[in-house]
Amino acid sequence: MLTAVLLYLSILVLVGTVRSRRVKTGDDFLVAGRTLPARVLVFTLLATWIGSGSLFGGAGLGYRAGFPALWQSAGAWVGIALVFFIAPRVRRIAQYTVPDILELRYGPLARVLGTVTTVLAYATIAAYQFRGGGRLLGLIAGVDPDTGALITMVFCVVFTSLAGMLSIAYLDVGNGILMTVGVILAVVFMVGDAGGLAVSLAALRPDQMSLFGTLGPQASLALFLPTMFLLLGEANMYQKFFSARDERTARRAVVFWIVGTIVVETLIDSTGVLASTILPSLNAAQSEEIVIRVATDVLPDFLGVVLVCGAAAIIVSTANSFLLTPATNLIRDVYQRFVNPGVTGRQVIVYTRVIVAVLGVFGYVAGKFFPTILAMALWAYTMYGAGITPALLGALLWRRATRLGGVASILVGMLTTLAWEIVGLMRGVDGTPAYPLGLETAYPALALSIATLIVVSLATPAQSDEEVAALYAGTR
């Protein structure tokens, strides 16, 4: 299996190196020259969204809780459905980053706060891709998980630096196909080996088949909300929309993206659910490795190799995008905007590559402070979903949103997430947080961020038509 994974990753590097020769400008590196067709956009959106959070966190939760784990995935499905109505406008604006949009509506301070929030959240998401890669290498090659995470980080940094979006988007076509085929084959084999779907489902506990199961409504909603709000404001998604050929391409891609996400995430979670009867008695940490354990301990060798390569594709494709987006934010939204407005296209490429390396190291170190991949995912989702999404949607959809309302919303969402998590961890035991009032961070962070946007906007003077024209008319 290790040989197959190394061969697949070598092919990615080779193709990435070839495509890097086509990168001539900053636009090529950051937004693929705004040339991506719908078929490529679909797969890069799918491969970016479905990462270690789904592969390890989602499947592990499926192993422990059953099909109620799909509440987390359902947040993405609803979010993508809503994105269908936003995608054309985003492409029409034709910027580079989400903080670009925030400044158009709310001013320079919103750009800075948006960049800080994005870097914190996305470096964390990249970090648990590294941890996922470390676990994969540990299971198939006996590598120490920390060493495996370091190896994964180095590979992803090098690969992301080769050709930026132009490389990532096209290689994600292969990654998306491989991971889809891998999980389909795994589920089909387990169901067939058990004697059919009816037999497989009959072997599950009643709570594994219920609406909320052992999670309960509050915990289920705490999975759903951060995922939905992250998706609605997801910077990788917006950067890929900026990379689309035109508005129609962006909207068409969203339709097929939601279908692919529903299918693949349901299959990944189902792998964990079905495997709970085949490989019982795994603890919480081991359960997050269930997809890889199915590949190594349950499937025939060929199917196991396909699934493991699909898992590697998931990890690499997501890590690449979550390194490139915050690097783009830092180079464009900080350096180019405030330090050196005259930076050349070649300098943009070089500096972005350096920042990708720095973010990789930061993410590797940050990953050591979280007990599980699921915990990292929910923290990052909440940080971004509460800090960015309400203000971003207000900028795009609500003319009455004001500069002060948008800035206050970003600041309150970000600080509430930090404070609530810190207090929860300080009150908790053995790394398990004990949140104030028994409320997961998503509830106060989202509620306060949205309320702040509305209340402060209504309490301050409305912006003029000229101030909002850049977003509503598509011109600066």
Q: Residue 99 burial by CB count (10 A; 0-12/13-18/19+): exposed, middle or buried?
A: buried
Buried b vs exposed e over 390-419: b needs ≥16 C-beta within 10 Å? Answer: bbbbbbbebeebbbbbbbbbbbbbbebbbe
Q: Which of 82-91, 179-188, 202-211 has the lowest mean pLDDT?
A: 82-91
Query: What is the predicted pLDDT for the residue at 430?
Result: 73
Chain segment 404-460, per-residue pLDDT in tens: 999 999 999 999 999 998 898 888 887 678 899 999 999 999 999 999 999 999 999
442 within some domain: no
Query: What is the predicted pLDDT for the residue at 475?
Result: 42
260 within some domain: yes
Q: What's the CA gap between 48 and 27, in Å, rounded?
A: 20
Q: What is the DSSP string of 293-357?
A: HHHHHTS-HHHHHHHHHHHHHHHHHHHHHHHHHHHHIIIIIIIIIII-TT--HHHHHHHHHHHHH
Chain segment 299-327, per-residue pLDDT in tens: 999 999 999 998 998 898 888 888 988 99
Q: In CATH, what number is assigned to the domain containing residue 29?
A: 1.20.1730.10
433 within some domain: no
Query: What is the predicted pLDDT for the residue at 317?
Result: 83
| Structure tokens, 232 | 């609605």
* Number of domains observed in the structure of the chain: 1
24 within some domain: yes
Instruction: Name the phi and psi angles at 84, rounded to 5.
Output: -50, -35
Domain membership of residue 245 as a residue range = 2-373
Provide the mean pLDDT of the chain: 88
Query: What is the predicted pLDDT for the residue at 465?
Result: 80
CA-wise closest residue to 13 among 316, 287, 307: 316
Chain segment 357-411, per-residue pLDDT in tens: 999 999 999 888 787 888 888 889 999 999 999 999 999 889 999 999 999 999 9
pLDDT bucket at 476, cuts 50 / 70 / 90 = very low
Query: What is the predicted pLDDT for the residue at 29?
Result: 60
421 within some domain: no
CA-wise closest residue to 147 among 368, 430, 376: 368
473 within some domain: no
Q: Do 320 and 159 contact (CB within 8 A), yes or no?
A: yes
303 within some domain: yes
Which of 34-48, 213-227, 338-352, 459-473 tops mean pLDDT? 213-227
**Mean pLDDT on 209-216:** 95
pTM: 0.84
**Mean pLDDT on 262-273:** 96
Residue 221 CB neighbours (<10 A):
17
Q: Do 118 and 107 contact (CB within 8 A), yes or no?
A: no
Q: What's the CA gap between 315 and 55, in Å, rounded?
A: 8
Q: Is residue 33's pLDDT more than 70?
A: no
pLDDT bucket at 49, cuts 50 / 70 / 90 = confident
Q: Is residue 341's pLDDT more than 70?
A: yes
Query: What is the predicted pLDDT for the residue at 138?
Result: 93
Which of 70-84, 146-160, 198-212, 249-263 tops mean pLDDT? 198-212
86 within some domain: yes
CA-wise closest residue to 363 among 417, 333, 308, 326: 326
Using only C-alpha atoms, the chain has a radius of gyration, in whole angstroms, of 21
